[in-house]
A and B are shown apart, each in its own frame.
Chain A
Amino acid sequence: AQTVTQSQPEMSVQEAETVTLSCTYDTSESDYYLFWYKQPPSRQMILVIRQEAYKQQNATENRFSVNFQKAAKSFSLKISDSQLGDAAMYFCAYRRGGNNNDMRFGAGTRLTVKP
């Protein structure tokens, strides 16, 4: 079974600084997708960024980027120029390729942004 590990239960960052959230996963599949979801306090979970395993180029979405190391099975999220609105729980998730519906989530990292 695929597992997703987020080793940092909590992280903090100063406003305008950069922070990196770690995620590792375990799989024997070659076709899969990785996601970072954000869950702000008392608000809905939303997708931040996604990465297809077959793509070598790291995904970026404005201030959010990933460092995808396929051989190491690592998928970290970098948030640049952190803003107060970035404070949230962040979940790393894995899904096999094809029409598979099974998405696996890590335990989450709570990010605090200090003004």
Chain B
Amino acid sequence: DVKVTQSSRYLVKRTGEKVFLECVQDMDHENMFWYRQDPGLGLRLIYFSYDVKMKEKGDIPEGYSVSREKKERFSLILESASTNQTSMYLCASSHMTGYRNEQFFGPGTRLTVL
């Protein structure tokens, strides 16, 4: 059974803190993604990675960085959390090739920055 897991379901941090969100997939997928989900805006891509140590910016990378040291793990880092980063964060993964490649999602992390 395919699985994408995220380190926390709920997280509360203070402004200025460094925040790590971790995502692990067990499907040997090449691609991994971080999205931010906000009401009325749908899902917006922050960063994605198509291989270990490779990353590309999505639509809203400002204020975020990522790390992929192992194929199965993709981390999202908020260097200095701000209140406007309060949101739901979704991780996803997919195979690189294959025209039918769907993205598989994790359960999400609801981050609140006070």
| Minimum CB distance partner of A54 in chain B | B99
Residues of B contacting A37 in the complex (Cβ-Cβ under 8 angstroms)? 105
A101-B31, A102-B45, A107-B41 known; A45+B90 contact, CB < 8 A:
yes
SS class, residues of chain B in contact with chain A: strand
CA separation between A42 and B96, bound complex, in Å? 28
Q: Which of B31, B43, B90 has the most CB of A within 10 A?
A: B43
Q: Interface size of B by Cβ–Cβ distance < 8 Å?
A: 25
SS class, residues of chain A in contact with chain B: loop
Determine if A103 is an interface residue (Cβ-Cβ < 8 Å): yes
Report yes or no: A108 in contact with B42, Cβ–Cβ below 8 A: yes
Residues of B contacting A4 in the complex (Cβ-Cβ under 8 angstroms)? 42
Report yes or no: B105 in contact with A9, Cβ–Cβ below 8 A: no
Residues of A within 8 A of B (CB): 4, 6, 9, 33, 35, 37, 43-47, 50, 52, 91, 97-99, 101-103, 105-108
